[in-house]
Amino acid sequence: MKYGIAVFPSKKLQDIANSYRKRYDTKYSMVPPHLTIKDPFEIKEGELDNIVKEIQKAADKSKPFQLKVLRYSSFYPVTNTLYMKVAENKELKALQEKLNSGLLQKEREHPFVPHITIGQEMNYDELSDVFGRLKLESIEHEETIDRFSLLYQLENGAWTVYETFLLGERE
């Protein structure tokens, strides 16, 4: 089965992202707005428990982090994607690295660029029109993230949360 790891930001930020996704994101109905921490990867049935333990260890050893949206940006011309660019910081980077080491290691196809997608598979004219407008907009948003989710993909392409993990050890 295909799994992925993502952070769901606050309802406030998800609502802002959805106001764009509704029109511009072909995956709008597949999953709520999110920041992907680990790209989709395969887990075989017998391996799930061990992988979950490994993810739990990574979560325990991590810390809550600040999610700060810097601006709107685009992956064009690599892909016709629009996104909210999220500031890198050492806690987020450390978490992403922990979730990609040991049992969880997997070659990344691209460097890790923290972002929240708001449009994808857009045609060029629409992308350049919308991006042209969004470049002029300032977006000031910062929040604390204290959890992330392991999700799996259904046959229709939608994602269901398997488990949430809190960042840092609890008392």
Q: How many residues bind a copy of itself (CB under 8 A)?
A: 23
Residues 35-74 that bind a copy of itself (CB under 8 A): none
Radius of gyration of the chain, Cα coordinates, nearest whole angstrom:
16
Q: How many CB atoms lie within 10 A of CB 151?
A: 23
- Residue of the chain from 139, 164, 168, 169 that contacts a copy of itself (CB under 8 A): 164
- Which member of 21, 34, 38, 98 is catalytic? 34
Among 124, 158, 168, 169, binds a copy of itself (CB under 8 A): 158
> Which is closer to a copy of itself, CB of 103 or CB of 158?
158
Identity of the residue, 32 or 40, whose beta carbon is nearer to a copy of itself in the bound complex: 32
From the list 66-74, 88-96, 110-118, 149-157, the region that binds a copy of itself by CB under 8 A is: 149-157
Residues 31 and 61: beta-carbon distance below 8 Å: no
18: left (phi over 0), alpha (psi -120 to 50) or beta: alpha
Contact criterion met (CB below 8 Å) for 102 and 143: no
Q: Are strands 82-86 and 2-7 parallel, antiparallel or unpaired?
A: unpaired
Comparison of 102 and 157: residue with beta carbon closer to a copy of itself: 157
32 binds a copy of itself (CB under 8 A): yes
Sign of CA dihedral 14, 20, 23, 27: negative
| Annotation marks residue 115 as catalytic | yes
| Closer by beta carbon to a copy of itself, 109 or else 155 | 155
Of 41, 76, 112, 152, the one binding a copy of itself by CB under 8 A? 152
160 lies in the binding site for a copy of itself (CB under 8 A): yes
| Per-position DSSP letters for 22-66, written without gaps between them | HHHBTTTTTS-S-EEEEEEEE--GGGHHHHHHHHHHHHHT---EE
